[in-house]
Each structure stands twice: as C-alpha cells, then as structure tokens.
Structure 1
C-alpha cells in the first residue's frame, strides 16, 4: 500500500519507527487492513526508544510488583488521546476508572513541534472540539481562566489561527481531565501489551519512575506519528545535509540553522500542506535575513491540489491545501505565478513527474546543487509496544484484526493520525480523516460499539 499521512492533509499512511519499547526482543508487525505491506515492524535487535528515554534511562527494567484494574487504558495524550479519554468518560459514566499513559501530558506533537505553524482549520472548529464532550466542559471548568479555551474563544471564529492556540487548548483540556477523579494519569511508556487470563483482558506493562502493570478489558492506542523520510538517489559527488521537517516548520529555529553570510541552497521535496509551508518559510527568510538563500522544489505534481468548498461538503477535505498554505500556493507557486510573483528568483521548481526513472534522473541532476534537503512527504506512525500478535487496523471500526486468523482482536482499538478513519466523499474520493474535530466525530460514532453492552466499569 503506497500511502502516507501528512500532519495537516492526509492521503496515505507510511512506515514509521519512533515509539518503540525500551528493549525489544520479539517481533511485532501491524498491517493496514486493505494491504499486505507492514505499516511498522519491530526487529529482534535490542534498541532504545526516544519515546521512553525521556522518562526512564535504564538497561534493567524493574518488574512491577502490583497489578491495578481499570475500565480502560488510553495510550498517548495528543489531540486524539485527549478526545478518547473524554469520550470514554462520557460513555462509561460514573464509577469507571481510566488509566491514561503518556511521558509528559503536554499536548502531543502539536505543542512540542508545531506551535508556530499556521492552521488549516478555522478557530471555531478547534473550539467545537474543545467543547465537544461533557467531560471536556467539566475539564475546562477545573482550570482557572484565562486558559487555552477562553483565549481560543476570543479569536475571530471563521479565521484560521496559529497552532499554538490549539496547543494551549489541548493543554487546558489535558490538565482538566487529569484532575478528574476517574482518570489516573501515569507518566511513562507502555513497553509491553499481552492478553490476560480471559480473552477480553489486556495486561499493559508501564515503565516510568516505577514499573507498573495495568489490567483492563479495553485499550486504545493514540500513539501518534512523526515526519516520514524516503531513501533518495545518492549523487556521487555530493550528498546534502538533511534538515528535519519539524525544525523547518519552526521559523525561530530555521532562522538560526542556515548561514546568513554565504550562498546556501535548500531542496524541498513534496507538494502537500507541510511542503508548501516550508517553501513559505524559506521565501520569507530569503527576503528578510538570508538574501543568499535559494530553494529547489522537487515535486511530481504539475498543479497543486486545493480543498474545494462545495454545497455542504468539502472536496479534497483531507488532501487539498487550505488556509495560508492555499493562499501562498495560489499567489506564488501556481502556474505562471512563480515567475510573475518574483518567488521564482528564489525558488526553482524541479519537475519529478513522469515516473520513477524521470524522478531519479531529476534527483541525481539537482541534488548536488543543494546544501540541505527537507523531506515533506508525509508522516509515519510511531511503533506500538511489544505484542505477541500481528494485527491489522480497521479504518472503519477503529479496531484491530488478528492477521493470522482474520478475527477481531477483542478490546484493542486505535485513533488519531496513526489510526485515522477512512472516509469517502460525495465524489467517491477515498481519504483518511485527520484533524481535531474529525477525531472527535469518529469517536462519537465508534466508541459506543467499542464499549458494548457487556462492558462493565471496574470496581
């Protein structure tokens, strides 16, 4: 399956290796339900996980001495983890106990990496997410004002905004939910998931300051994604230095990364939302503090794809450009605008269309001209904890299927950018729905079926 997830526009799901257990000994693989290529795999070699290393640096893990029972376990505290926790509180109701696991409870990658990124979503949509569950409304009341929600409510509702506003809202909701007496926030990493004594029981091993073992009939992975990279043809005479997408999307870091006093060329690969924002940041930098900066833009697309607002629905809602990215594309990059706008003095478009051989030739010809390269080619899902079973994710139900038997895996679910809902628009286009409110809409549809009539809150 040739699919990827873009953080801001989604068209496919890619392989990713970031959130892996501290020490990994047995292989685990996950597949998209409609394809046979593994979305991520774990090897037998022992490796250290960046996700876990922030909370525990050790080679010998302590064994948990106690097992604690919960109604549900949520892994991850970004936008989808927050939404899953809120949804489960509303659905399971009074008496339920939810274990919520994350290294820091700081709002996920939005707060960690993308606070300077302009959104492609209007402020009102973020606010609709922030008030979408009764548990969210209680959480907001538990946090003093002004807070992320009250500041978001003060913005122009139909305008896009910087993602730091969305990040502040996530932090407010996270802080409030952690104050709910039905939620146990556990700082650490899930390093192992196994089936319990009964088919409906999951045992999760947590490594944090203390080792813990949690048991619940329901587990939801909201483990997120990270920028993807692909192997590029390597020129014989020069290999550009790679710049991380996260850093290039942050102007405050980008400004101090590139030299100001000499010519420098940055190659940018991609044509989705994040790629266009990278081009925008580089063009702004060249006109401000880096006059000798030049850009080579590697793209397979003759034309950019834009979201189109139809009568009551959006064509290319998840894959088309929106907001400032769309405005920048139309003004500076589309058609003859690259030359007419003056952006062409800084940005050179490299045509990579026509197939694999033509693309390879373009890279071999143009990469030696670049001092740095940025890959804006989508996002790869973070790895799951060690499991004994190879599983496939179902993008319709949010559940997992045992690859060997084809049967649903009881009590195991996923949500968020790593596990998005597959949607079909009125024109028949199939996309993957990524966005705060889209996560919430998906959860409102599927969480009642996850819980089921036989689901009982823990004592």
Structure 2
C-alpha cells in the first residue's frame, strides 16, 4: 500500500482539533490527514452533553439581582462566541452554507446570542462542522488512533514525520508521512486518591457526576448516602448542583459534604477584560453559587438543606484533620480538581523517545532542558492551551472553544511559514 504524504496530520477531532484543521486548510498545505476514533466532537459530546441541564424542582429557583432565575446552569461561553467559532475559517463558512437545514447552526441562531447555553448545542455544532470537513478532497479522515510517530527528517524548514495509525476497521496499521503533526489529544478529569486510607468509600468519576441521567442510575435512591465533593471550580459547582437536584427529586436521602480550601471565586468583568476569565465562576453557575453557596446564604438556602461545607483552609494540617474527621461518614467521593492531559502517541527522534515540553506562547514543543524546537510538532486544545496574562499580572491557561480559535489564528501562520 502506498504511504500517503500529507502537508499536516491533526490528532483529535474535538473543538481544538476541528479548529486546527480549519486553520491549516486556510494555509493550502495540500492534503491534511485527520485522525480520531469517532469524529463526533470529542469528549465534550461523549461526556458533557448534559452540562449544564434543567433542574426540575420548583424549589430550585433562586433570586439573583432582584429577579427570580430558574437554575438552568449554562456553559461558560455565550452563544455568539460559539457562532463566531463556527464562521472564523473559510472552510467552516462553506460547511455552514452547505449543510441542509435545520442543522446545529440554525439551532444556535434561534438562541439569545448574549446568553450562555447548554454544551450539547456546541457539541452538535462541532459535529456538523466535522461532517462537512471530512467530505473535502483535501482532507484524509482516518478513524482510529495514532499509536506512534517518528521524526525521520529533522530539517527545520521541511521536517518529515512517519506516523502510524491503528484503524478501527482494520487490523493493519496505516502509515502516513506528514510534514507537521498537531496534537489535539484532549484531557480527562484528574484522578485523586482518597485523602484518608483504609476507608470503604466508592469514588465517583467526575464525568459520571456531570451526566445526571447516568448519575441517578448509579446511586441508591432508597437509603441514606453521603457524598464527599472536593473542589470549588466550575465543575465542582455543577457537581454540587446535580447532587442537590437528585436530593430534591429522586434521591431524598442524599446528602453532601463539600470540602473546599478557599472562598468561591468569580470572574469579574473589568474595563475591556475579565479578571479570572479562565478560573472564576461565570453565568448561572456563578449566580447559583452567590445565591445559595456563599457562607451567608448556605445555612438558609435550598442547597443548604443538602450540603454541609467543610472548611479546609488554614494549611495542610487543618485540611488533613478535616478529612480524617469528616470523610469516614461518607459513602462516595468525587474530586473536581482539574483536568489531566490524555496520553500522547509514542513520539521518537533518532530512535529514542522524545522528552519534550510545550511552549504555551507559540504552540510548539521544545526538547526538555533545551531551546531546541522539535521540528514540525505542535499542540492545541484543552491539552495544550495558550498561556495568558491579565493586566494585573495573573497567569492563566485559556481554555474554551473561542479561546482555542483565538490562539490558533495567531500561531498557525507561524507553523506553516506563512
């Protein structure tokens, strides 16, 4: 079988990988290989379509800024930014124009552009873009996994990689020669061991907790259970909300112990920029937290009937003491403390594994301990986001559909020498 030769190979078809493909097509590099096991919007579609969701109990309405708001907890991104994502590249606009209606794009058009929305709208948008992009003559879609890639020509201006792809529909591996590889390999919730050893407590994966339809089936509804939730991030607040809803509806004996080291932190809209843009609570998640989870609200709020806050501030000794005192009463444990990169393919140079680190400014990789750039290797998406610094000097990693796109518009021309 003839080895396909491509101007680039993109690993992953989630929001980051799809954005990368569109940007590379803009550079007219010839055929571009695109590798993914499903081409269905990545983890955001597999795991997070129900983030956020409608909370049915009438008690789950709360007062914010003088008005009553149903607890319909939304993503961190407004509809108009999802719409902007879908039209940045010419290849995207072509898909939008040629996709039979109704479609994910026309559905987004019916939503309020200035409000946030459930993630399934965004997942469907990426999937419709993907369905159109894989039909292009200059895209080589490969359903499967990249198992390995070897740098066979280290010439800085014209590197060559030999990439091995395990295809879903074949026992044979496909070899592809590519001038560039872009890793958009995604991330998963960080696994955290129980803070106290020897306890018979079941761990709940955050992915499960953020999918209420499965969560309800995974927990007993006819006996008392107490769930330990660790963290104060956006994901932690969504986890708390899902547990509160279950306790208010199908699981009346469910209670939560919420372990947190610090006060709730919110994104603040400043003059032309956002303080804690990537780390603070936003939208309805922030509204729920302000209305029901703050110290002066929790004791009397509907959420306070379900949640007991365990203050772990004050240093490691106090935190350890709190876990030892409070965790033995819990039946389940859920940590919402961030995300960890998914495993990468086996990458080699001169027959030896590459020991590399990512440059969050350029999207390139450097050999660890050296200024030497790994030729033709790049990263993007949630696993490899841009590092940003706000006017106060705070450093964050920019994660989000539109933020990925903003980063790529800046760096892709430098990847291709444009």
- Given that 2:149 and 2:346 are in contact with CA atoms closer than 8 Å, whether structure 1 keeps it comes out as yes
Q: CA–CA distance in 1 between the matches of 2:191 and 2:318?
A: 20
Partner in structure 2 of residue 102 of structure 1: 36
The 8 Å contact of residues 143 and 175 in structure 1, kept in 2 or not, is answered as no
**Alignment partner of 1:171: what SS?**
helix
1:416 matched residue in structure 2: 381
Cα deviation for residue 406 of structure 1 reads 2.8
Q: Which runs of 5+ in 1 are unaligned?
A: 1-64, 454-459
Structure 1 residue 404 displacement after superposition: 5.0
Aligned partner of 1:202 in structure 2 is 161
Query: What is the rounded CA distance, in whole Å, between the counterparts of 1:232 and 1:260 in structure 2?
Result: 24
Aligned equivalents of 1:361, 1:193: Cα separation in 2:
47
Aligned counterparts of 1:255 and 1:136: Cα–Cα separation in 2: 38
1:227 paired residue among 175, 189, 195: 189
Determine if contact 1:189/1:207 at 8 Å carries over to the other structure: yes
Alignment CA distance shift 1:450-1:197 (3 Å): closer
Q: Counterpart in 1 of 2:322?
A: 362
| 1:122-177 deviations in Å (ceiling 9; x for gaps) | 11111111111111011223321111111111111111111000011010000011
Aligned to 1:23: none
User: Higher relative contact order at CA 8 Å, sep ≥6: structure 1 or structure 2?
Assistant: 1
**Does residue 1:311 correspond to 2:276, yes or no?**
no
| Aligned counterparts of 2:99 and 2:137: Cα–Cα separation in 1 | 15
1-side partners of 2:139 and 2:183: how far apart?
16
Which consecutive residues of structure 2, in runs of 5 or more, have no partner in the other structure? 53-74, 348-352
Mapped pair 1:242 → 2:203 = yes
| Inter-partner Cα distance in structure 2 for 1:373 and 1:403 | 36
2:48 matches 1:86: no
Answer yes or no: is 1:444 the counterpart of 2:409. yes
TM-score scaled to structure 1, two decimals? Answer: 0.82
Match of 2:177 in 1: 215
**Secondary structure of the structure 1 residue equivalent to 2:22:** helix
Distance 1:298 1:331 in 2: 19
Q: 1:229 Cα deviation (Å)? A: 1.5
Deviations 1:22-56 (A, max 9, x none): xxxxxxxxxxxxxxxxxxxxxxxxxxxxxxxxxxx
- Structure 1 residues 52-75: Cα deviation after superposition (integer angstroms, max 9, x where no partner): xxxxxxxxxxxxx54210000000
Is this contact kept in 2: 1:66–1:212, CA < 8 A? no
Which of residues 275, 279, 286 in structure 1 aligns to 2:247? 286
- Deviation string for 1:299-355 (max 9, x for gaps)? 001x20000011111111000001121011001101211012142221011111112
Number of aligned pairs?
385
1:362 CA displacement:
1.3
Task: Pick from 74, 77, 84 the counterpart of residue 121 of structure 1.
Answer: 77
State the TM-score, normalized to the length of structure 2. Answer: 0.90
Maintained 8 Å contact 2:268/2:274: yes
Aligned-residue CA RMSD (Å): 1.2
**1:297 match: secondary structure:** strand
CA distance in 1, matches of 2:120, 2:154: 44
Check conservation: 2:358, 2:365, Cα contact below 8 A.
yes
